[in-house]
Structure 1
């Protein structure tokens, strides 16, 4: 089987109602894949039984880990811990609700490989807004509209230059993901913009791929509060860059906190 090919990082915060069907779909998808993979569940301070259900489903399956730090710190924080703990050649971040179906990964992995036109991309991410994307069920009008405004502002302020900043389906080369997330400072809704800003700063090549997507009710987003924080976050990205937080080794290490990695008892 050779090298661990793929790490799947899933942030989990009170996902008792959604984690089981999502993990079943992930296991079904990967059962016949000819490469080694791992699942990292990052428990962002859950208060329900979601993590316990996940352990039961994943018991005796492919290698998996649960990363826990005891309190709710935000999706961006959870992703930072999961990405930095990943060992796969490629690192996939997907939301726990699988709003983007896991088999959309088939469209993404080939873009990492060199071809006649380039040496392959460093980051491949899903987009709900490109030609070829399919939205089976839209978000509520206000949330979708605010998302479009946020993407526009992100492109202007944070140099994102992508069609869809916040799609929760992104894949990285391991060494690229580790470097970018080590520099991450923001953990609210604006973390997506910060990650792309850092990638652009270092000249990494980003490929957007149109994906199927459907809204899954039960979002943890607190619309007005999170949007306000995120707009502030866009300005903080520029301030952090001016301070050198994305350029120095100290800027990355000073922002990293160790977390508890819990291995299932069966392992």
Structure 2
């Protein structure tokens, strides 16, 4: 079977209340837009019936797949696991709440077709595109975190945390093999790595509607992300990324499939 042009990865942890709506909207969009696409849901050790729901949908949609993490590893691990197993020439991830409508993927794809290697959705480039605004305290903490990220890590982007990003397959296969952060702080790291490798990263304004059911705690998770940024900076200063890049080149592992204990369940196995 020929590889799809697009792979859409959805990280999911205990998403039984939202995953069917997400699948309906994503798969409907794929059909309406005529995309040659596969969809991969990465189950991050859910304790509810998220995986069972996905497997039920797989009986109707052959290009819908379930990837299972070895336990609860975090959003960063889930995104990496899904994107490294994705077969598309363009690979992207979106949150299960679909705060950015799936149709907005066209904007990311256009940026990649226009020469970018990485396209990241942004909530702050054009605030008129926000359909449901975050509470003021979330806006405040989010902007503060982004300022710290820009200052400490030298990232020029207005929004590093938007869960709507796309990559050319060749870039993703390199960037995500160098990723070390497995939870919420992974976004700044992959952007830091992309810039270090001289990839073209383009920030694209997207329509966005805040979901009140977001599980992220700006206090608890914000502190952890600050720790992650310190770790990323430490990795850079210690030359760990340079050593990893050299090792990848020496072993020709830039295009080798990931070696991880995961299960990619096909629609046949789900019946």
Q: Say if 1:133 and 1:52 are closer, same or farther in 2 by CA, change over 3 A.
A: farther
Q: Alpha-carbon deviation of 1:16?
A: 0.8
The answer as to 2:153 corresponding to 1:158 is yes
Q: Kindly state the Cα deviation for residue 172 of structure 1 after the two structures are TM-superposed.
A: 0.2
Is residue 41 of structure 2 the alignment partner of residue 48 of structure 1?
no
What's the counterpart of residue 215 of structure 2?
220
Match of 1:5 in 2: 5
The answer (yes or no) to whether the contact 1:245–1:251 under 8 Å persists in 2 is no
Q: 1:204 aligns with which of 199, 204, 225?
A: 199
Q: Looking at secondary structure, tell me which structure has more helix per residue.
A: 2
- Using the TM superposition, name which of 35-44 and 82-91 deviates more: 35-44
Q: In 2, distance between residues paired with 1:84 and 1:143?
A: 31
Q: CA deviation at 1:190?
A: 1.6
State the number of aligned residues: 260
2:238 pairs with 1:243: yes
State whether structure 2 residue 261 is matched by structure 1 residue 259.
Answer: yes
SS in 2 for 1:136: strand
Does the CA-based 8 Å contact 1:183-1:246 persist in structure 2?
yes
Q: Which runs of 5+ in 2 are unaligned?
A: none
Counterparts of residues 134-213 of structure 1 (less than 5 Å): 134-213=129-208
Answer whether contact 1:45 1:70 (CA < 8 A) is retained: yes
Q: Alpha-carbon deviation of 1:144?
A: 2.1
Residue of structure 2 equivalent to 1:117: none
- For the residue of structure 2 that corresponds to 1:109, the secondary structure is helix
Separation in structure 2 between the aligned mates of residue 131 and residue 97 of structure 1, nearest angstrom: 21
Partner SS, residue 268 of structure 2? coil
CA 1:133–1:241 in 2, change beyond 3 Å: closer, same or farther? farther
Structure 1, unmatched stretches of 5+, are 115-119
Q: How does 1:62-141 map to 2 (within 5 A)?
A: 62-114=62-114, 120-131=115-126, 133-141=128-136
Pairwise CA distance, 1:121: 0.6
Mapped contact 1:2–1:36 kept (Cα < 8 A): no
CA RMSD of aligned residues (A): 2.0
1:98-151 CA-partner distances (Å, limit 9, x unpaired): 01000001222122224xxxxx11111111101365111122322221111111
- Cα deviation code 1:177-213 (max 9, x no counterpart): 1111100011222211001100110111111111111
